[in-house]
Amino acid sequence: MPFPIFNNYEETEIQAIVARLFEVRGYHVRNQHLVDKSREKGADLIASKRGEVEKIAIQVKKKPESSDIKQLYDLAERPEEIKKYVYIEEPSTEFSKEMESYSSRVDFWNGDKLIREILSDDPHLALLLLVSDSQTARYLSQIRNLLLVCYDEMENKKLEDIELSKPTKEMLHMLWQAKDRACSIGKGLLYMGNIFDQTDRESSALVTNDLDYTAKTFVRTITDLYLQEAVELLEFFRYMEKHSRGYIEYACVERRIGSEWLHLNGFWFLLPGYIKPTFKSWKKEEEEIREKLSIDNLRRSTSIFDAIHHLSKGISILAQGMEGVIDDIWRYALERFASSYKSID
């Protein structure tokens, strides 16, 4: 079954993903496109291993057209013994014909082949890419962005600057439902993550020959099981932003150093636009660990089960952050609702 991803990424982001894969495999990757575009000679990336003659020339193209045939020719003529051409969308008819004639000299990877290669060497990255391509991820990311934008805008505000509208029974009911949905995502994925947090790494339960099926099952769980909760949560926060934004603002100021805001920043999907800064952050983190532990080759996870464990807990933390904000709003609303009755008495 194909993995329909990568289409929304820019070509430079796909280059970064390919570079990341070969770095995980122990190669040093030089981006020819960034170093000197005029001297690419058919290759965007050159992957090489220190102390070894082996070099790999890689061209990355989102959708190969007839105008790209010259680059394919240049790639095939390069001195490196191994040449790879990575493409995402279906090539033009003219380019497809040329691919057949160069198939013995160039190894062609489409998007499906690329994700399978990543899955075999870096399950964490593969699953994160697959999950990030889901509608559930897009909804959760929109919620997080909505909250963090408000958080930044309220940096220098004080509580007395914020006006809280009188809560209605409808609003309290919506808050209760929103808390339940956020809790469902947070607790459900935390439970899933704990299931895969096995202490016996040699257990036969952790052996699978079908990475594709395991990956698809996990992504389907995130997409199908929590899609409705995610879309309803997004609608709730949009409603609050439009009609009762003061409550979100109050949470931003009153609980500025609270754990919920840390949770909202604790996990990021690899949506388009986030690839490069995320990889930069990973590299910095890995370099620091290498320096402390003297590790030459570092992978984020050792198996697909480790990846499921870490990603489940990561998304769970994000959902817990949303639940924490809802809890705060719920508290403010109840206090204001109760005070309105006291004033009547």
- Cα dist from 58 to 47, 85, 125, 174, 321, whole Å: 8, 6, 20, 52, 41
- Digits of tens for pLDDT over the chain (345 positions)? 445 578 889 999 999 999 999 999 989 999 886 666 556 688 999 999 876 678 999 999 999 999 999 999 999 999 998 999 999 999 999 999 999 999 999 999 999 999 999 998 999 999 999 999 999 999 999 999 999 999 999 999 999 989 898 898 899 999 999 999 999 999 999 998 888 876 455 555 555 567 888 888 899 888 888 999 999 999 999 999 999 999 999 999 998 888 899 999 888 899 998 898 888 888 888 777 766 665 555 555 568 888 899 999 999 999 999 999 999 999 999 988 777 655 544
Q: What is the pTM of this model?
A: 0.87
Contact (Cβ atoms closer than 8 angstroms) between residue 86 and residue 60? yes
The first and second tokens of residue 3, run together, are: 């993995």
Q: Which of 130, 131, 74 is nearest to 98 (CA)?
A: 74
Q: Which domains does the chain have, with CATH numbers?
A: 11-119 (3.40.1350), 135-344 (no CATH)
Q: How far apart are the first and last CA of the chain?
A: 66
131: amino acid identity, one letter: V
